[in-house]
Structure 1
Amino acid sequence: MEKQTHYPMIIGDQEVTSGSQDLIDPATGQVFATVAMGTPEDVDKAVTVAKQAQKEWAQVSFGERSLAMLKFADALEQKAEDLAKLESVNTGKPLKLSQGGDIPFSIDNIRYFASVVRHQEGAAAGSYVGGYTSMIRREPIGVVGAITPWNYPFMMAAWKIGPALAAGNAIVIKPAPNTPTTTIELAKIALESGLPAGLINVVTGEAAVGEAICNHPDTRMITFTGSTRTGKRVMELASQRAKRVTLELGGKAPFVVFADADIEACAQGAVAAAYMNTGQDCTAATRFYVQNEVFDQFLERFTELTKQIGMGKPFDADTDIGPLVSAVQRNKVHGLVEEARQQGIKIATGGELPDGDGFFYPPTILVETPQDANCVQEEIFGPVVVVNRFTDEENAIALANDIPYGLAASVWTTNVQRAMRVTAAIEAGTVWVNDHLPIASEMPHGGFKQSGFGKDMSQYALEEYTIVKHVMFDNTGDQRKAWHSVVFGD
């Protein structure tokens, strides 16, 4: 993969270079490249070529579709090292996270959908009404519009593209304007691998491009990952034409520690759960609820481990967390910490803006915060957590559920019965027991409440990108149908 200074849009098999916006390296604050800036007219061109490509792709057999996607995944794997480096430059995340997590997991996700399309499930064909045979078909939706966020740009693109293509759709995808590079490269690699032109189209730009995708009469589904506020706008626009919508929105995951838990394991797990990707993760543990009996023990060890985290440049081997993605994001994070400080909330560690270049922010722990404080109720999306107390199981569940979001949570206990009760009671799409963050391509990812609806990953995601059709055959050839007698009494 050659080093580029300008990244074009990909529409069909064309590289479109109109417009230009600077791309900033979060670790230095300096421009490292530019990207094309699309318009609603570019969206219209992309949807037009996607619509044509989709008609042909939908006719391809499941086996051929699977093979084409597997070749695509192989082509991505051949360029995985370059993709990981580019992802880290564009987002500021540690290279070891891109190399060991984001890129290989995304490729695995595409391979998963390449395989699962060959084993689709549904009701067995049979005579549910006497004299007739019913069968289920899963049809592609058509052109899917996708809008993805800046925290995991390559992974979120793969999560949308995998099920969309497997189901027989084409896709027009808008990456976040500040982190488009690996999505553009993904679309180029798709063409190089032999996937038909027009199946994956990338239109870069600001909100007007996203709105054009949502409004276009020929996008029949909108899939969005991002903030709850923007997700509501996406849903509003899509509703004008009754489009299918999936939304993976904000999160504020509770991390519930009971007194019988292994506190060392909890503290070690808390560090990864809170600070991976510099806390810019909708499933990150951000609200720690610790039972009174072990509160001080947990807080002391968690704080000690937090102070040992290596914050630095993405390509340094000893870097655990890199910078936040932008100056705007750092100002937002620091503003919420300053608000907590002004409210008299104790800060166990962190909370100060560091000197030097880049958008770095230290891991920060706020202690015993009011449940109604913004730092508890609102998504901070940075390396900032709150550690609060709870008394008993009922209290823990009430606190865990007392927010607008419900994307993820974890429960830490050695009591299996308690784990079963609490995981059932917590309102979240994923609940881990004695761990936090692991995901699998075979398992669904999505939320409750204002964390959205619909699923990424798994068989459930493939179903989101299809329309179920009932086909019914007359077995008898008898022109005088039984139902005719029922309806007309003859």
Structure 2
Amino acid sequence: MTTELRRLRNYIDGEFREAADGRTTEVVNPATGEAYAVAALSGPADVDAAMAAAQAAFPAWRDLVPAERQKVLLKIADAFEVRAEELIAAESENTGKPLALTRSEEIPPMVDQIRFFAGAARMLEGRSAGEYMEGMTSIIRREPIGVCAQVAPWNYPMMMATWKFAPALAAGNTVVLKPSDTTPASTLLMAEIIGGVLEELGHPKGVFNVLCGDRETGRLMVEHSVPAMASITGSVRAGIQVAASASKDVKRVHLELGGKAPVVVFEDADIAKAVEDISVAGFFNAGQDCTAATRVLVHESIHDEFVTALAKAAADTKTGQPDDEDVLYGPLNNANQLQQVSGFIERLPSHAKVEAGGHRVGEKGYFFAPTVVSGLQQDDEIIQHEVFGPVITVQSFSDEEQAVGYANGVEYALASSVWTKDHARAMRMSKRLDFGCVWINTHIPLVAEMPHGGFKQSGYGKDLSAYGFEDYTRIKHVMTSLG
């Protein structure tokens, strides 16, 4: 007897709708490896409908005073708190994440970030008006961009959706958001909640829309004539494709792409503290985090001691089912990702040594053991390319100069950390490390007030902070004659 799968539908103009042509795709729970739903597979007609709804809603939403948009966002944040357990359940089904950690580590920052952007809506600052030409006064207007096409990833479906819609709506834009085809459930629940708030407060239904679909759906969104901005969090390959597609009609682009964060541990570091924090920051969310502490560079004088301690920490780290409160992380998100992570280990060069893990866990779901690999060289594949799994690599360095060279010697430039008791060294390293974020004696904390974004192939534009908010605005010069 076959159980009928739940149906996940697009959210367009305040309504849940099947794909116009009826196409669907299966959605799999990565903790079981079994399908639990079918989601709409959106095509051109669905993209047209969502863009039309967002475009129609834009003038009224744009013209609201910031205080009114703030009210909406604050009410959304409150509603997310009230329905937190529903969101947690949907996110765990999406991703296999531990319920307890999703409750403690994702809901509170999401709510806080929405409230931050609610306040930011009322704090748009610009240069003061003035006379820069005789008889003329110049002023600066900061305005919303228009309709934003946004694509969120599968590693943090709720969190990354929040990073996108909150600043966009706060600035006065309207949104068409596509979650990953593997993780649509929690985003659609968010749409239901947001839509309810918009309706309750009497605002246009098309302010926030969600399209389910695959890469082709995302391409159709980015290439559509309506959006003025395309924003994506995803792989470097996806970012390059989005930038190329958006260039055809000169859309603004916001890209948060891959990472390969160096974690530079000097000989004077507190080894026990560093190992404890780095293991959590490397294995959390199964290492499926662009800022994960997965590329450790250790001074040669403490290398062996550090590796031994890190391997023990890995052996003590547990992965398992979402309802197990003792686990640090759940499964990899999908079968392809499991294959990718396994492939990196299978292709390790002969000089590499697997100190811990290096294998799949169980036959059900996509679980992978906490893994530590040592003996690596700078040009090895696993050093140069993003694994996006619970795998921490370790290299040794001889001095500060070599540490900087190894750290910067990749194409990614999102995040990094330095571990030392020497303040001057920490300041030198923070200047020389070519990454959008440098943590000192910690790794991975984020706050709404500070920007998150990288350089090089990690993309451009900022999430969070006033800088992230400003990315969703445009600047207009207005000059008036005093005569």
Q: Identify the match of residue 335 of structure 2 among 292, 307, 327.
A: 327
Say whether 1:285 aligns with 2:293: yes
- Following the alignment from structure 1 to structure 2, what is the Cα–Cα distance between the partners of residues 196 and 419? 50
Q: Which moved more, 1:48-57 or 1:20-29?
A: 20-29
The equivalent residue for 1:156 is 160
The equivalent residue for 2:423 is 416
What aligned pairs does 1:87-236 form with structure 2 within 5 A after superposition? 87-194=91-198, 196-236=204-244
- Following the alignment from structure 1 to structure 2, what is the Cα–Cα distance between the partners of residues 405 and 325? 22
The one-letter code sitting in structure 2 at the alignment partner of 1:217 is: S
Unpaired segments ≥5 residues, structure 1: 478-490
The one-letter code sitting in structure 1 at the alignment partner of 2:319 is: M
Say whether 1:74 aligns with 2:78: yes
Q: Identify the match of residue 396 of structure 2 among 380, 384, 389.
A: 389
Q: Do the aligned partners of 2:143 and 2:171 also contact (CA within 8 Å) in 1?
A: yes
- Following the alignment from structure 1 to structure 2, what is the Cα–Cα distance between the partners of residues 267 and 8? 44
Cα deviation digits, residues 397-451 of structure 1 (max 9, x gap): 1100000000000000011110000011001111100000000011111001000
Say whether 1:347 aligns with 2:354: yes
Q: Do the aligned partners of 2:351 and 2:375 also contact (CA within 8 Å) in 1?
A: no
Task: Name the SS for the 1:128 alignment partner.
Answer: strand
Task: Name the SS for the 1:198 alignment partner.
Answer: helix
The one-letter code sitting in structure 1 at the alignment partner of 2:142 is: R
Alpha-carbon RMSD across the aligned residues, in angstroms, is: 1.3
Q: Which moved more, 1:56-65 or 1:195-204?
A: 195-204
> Cα distance, 1:344 vs. partner?
3.9
The one-letter code sitting in structure 2 at the alignment partner of 1:238 is: A
- Following the alignment from structure 1 to structure 2, what is the Cα–Cα distance between the partners of residues 314 and 208? 31
Q: Does the C-alpha gap of structure 1 residues 396 and 344 become closer, same or farther in structure 2, counting only changes over 3 Å?
A: closer
- Following the alignment from structure 2 to structure 1, what is the Cα–Cα distance between the partners of residues 407 and 375? 15
The equivalent residue for 2:406 is 399
- Following the alignment from structure 2 to structure 1, what is the Cα–Cα distance between the partners of residues 375 and 204? 55
- Following the alignment from structure 1 to structure 2, what is the Cα–Cα distance between the partners of residues 31 and 287? 34
Task: Name the SS for the 2:11 alignment partner.
Answer: strand
The one-letter code sitting in structure 1 at the alignment partner of 2:406 is: L
The one-letter code sitting in structure 1 at the alignment partner of 2:111 is: I
> Cα distance, 1:328 vs. partner?
1.0
Q: Do the aligned partners of 2:176 and 2:208 also contact (CA within 8 Å) in 1?
A: yes
Q: Do the aligned partners of 1:143 and 1:172 also contact (CA within 8 Å) in 2?
A: yes
Q: Identify the match of residue 264 of structure 1 among 240, 262, 272.
A: 272
Q: Do the aligned partners of 1:40 and 1:208 also contact (CA within 8 Å) in 2?
A: no
> Cα distance, 1:20 vs. partner?
2.2
> Cα distance, 1:343 vs. partner?
3.1
- Following the alignment from structure 1 to structure 2, what is the Cα–Cα distance between the partners of residues 231 and 280? 17
- Following the alignment from structure 1 to structure 2, what is the Cα–Cα distance between the partners of residues 103 and 223? 23
The one-letter code sitting in structure 1 at the alignment partner of 2:204 is: P
Greater radius of gyration (CA) = 1
Alignment identity in percent? Answer: 44
Say whether 1:248 aligns with 2:256: yes
For normalisation by structure 1, the TM-score amounts to: 0.95
The one-letter code sitting in structure 1 at the alignment partner of 2:354 is: I
Say whether 1:448 aligns with 2:455: yes
Cα deviation digits, residues 70-103 of structure 1 (max 9, x gap): 1111111111121012101110111122111122
Q: Which moved more, 1:37-46 or 1:275-284?
A: 37-46
> Cα distance, 1:125 vs. partner?
1.3
- Following the alignment from structure 2 to structure 1, what is the Cα–Cα distance between the partners of residues 317 and 11? 39
- Following the alignment from structure 2 to structure 1, what is the Cα–Cα distance between the partners of residues 136 and 101? 55
Q: Identify the match of residue 462 of structure 1 among 459, 469, 474.
A: 469
- Following the alignment from structure 2 to structure 1, what is the Cα–Cα distance between the partners of residues 187 and 214? 15
The one-letter code sitting in structure 2 at the alignment partner of 1:289 is: L
> Cα distance, 1:470 vs. partner?
0.9
> Cα distance, 1:21 vs. partner?
1.8
- Following the alignment from structure 1 to structure 2, what is the Cα–Cα distance between the partners of residues 184 and 289? 41
Number of residue equivalences:
473
Cα deviation digits, residues 110-154 of structure 1 (max 9, x gap): 111110110111101122223222111111111000011100011
Q: Identify the match of residue 276 of structure 1 among 281, 284, 298.
A: 284
- Following the alignment from structure 1 to structure 2, what is the Cα–Cα distance between the partners of residues 101 and 222? 28
> Cα distance, 1:13 vs. partner?
1.1
- Following the alignment from structure 2 to structure 1, what is the Cα–Cα distance between the partners of residues 337 and 297? 26
- Following the alignment from structure 1 to structure 2, what is the Cα–Cα distance between the partners of residues 192 and 165? 15
The one-letter code sitting in structure 1 at the alignment partner of 2:18 is: T
For normalisation by structure 2, the TM-score amounts to: 0.96
The one-letter code sitting in structure 2 at the alignment partner of 1:277 is: N
The equivalent residue for 1:485 is none
Q: Do the aligned partners of 2:282 and 2:390 also contact (CA within 8 Å) in 1?
A: yes
The one-letter code sitting in structure 1 at the alignment partner of 2:31 is: A
Cα deviation digits, residues 23-69 of structure 1 (max 9, x gap): 11111111122211111210111000100101110010011111111
Unpaired segments ≥5 residues, structure 2: none
